[in-house]
Amino acid sequence: MTARNPPRGYTAAQILLHWVIAVLVVFQLIFGEDIVPAYRAVRRGTEALPSDILRADVHIYVGFTILVLAMARLAIRLMLGAPPAPAGESAVQKWIAAATHFILYATIFLMPVTGALAWYLGIGAIGKMHELAKSVIIAAVVLHASGALWQHFVAKTDVLVRMLRPGAGRAT
Question: For position 168, what pLDDT does the model report?
Answer: 79
C-alpha span between 57 and 65 (Å, rounded) = 12
- Is residue 31 included in any domain, yes or no? yes
Specify if 149 maps to a domain. Answer: yes
Name residues of the chain where pLDDT drops below 70: 1-4, 169-172
Identify whether 170 is part of a domain.
no
C-beta atoms surrounding 7 within 10 Å: 17
Burial of 68 per CB tally in 10 Å (0-12, 13-18, 19+): exposed
Q: What is the pLDDT of residue 34?
A: 93
Can you give the pLDDT at residue 2? Answer: 44
152, part of any domain: yes
Instruction: Identify whether 172 is part of a domain.
Output: no
**Strand ranges in the chain using DSSP code E only, listed in sequence order:** none
Which residues constitute the domain of residue 117?
A: 12-162
* Predicted pLDDT at 171: 55
pLDDT for position 1: 43
The number of distinct structural domains making up the chain is: 1
From CA 131, how far away is CA 15, in angstroms rounded? 28
| 6 assigned to some structural domain | no
- 18 lies in some domain: yes
Whether 3 is in a domain gets the answer no
- How open is the CA angle 33-38-40, to the nearest 5 degrees? 90
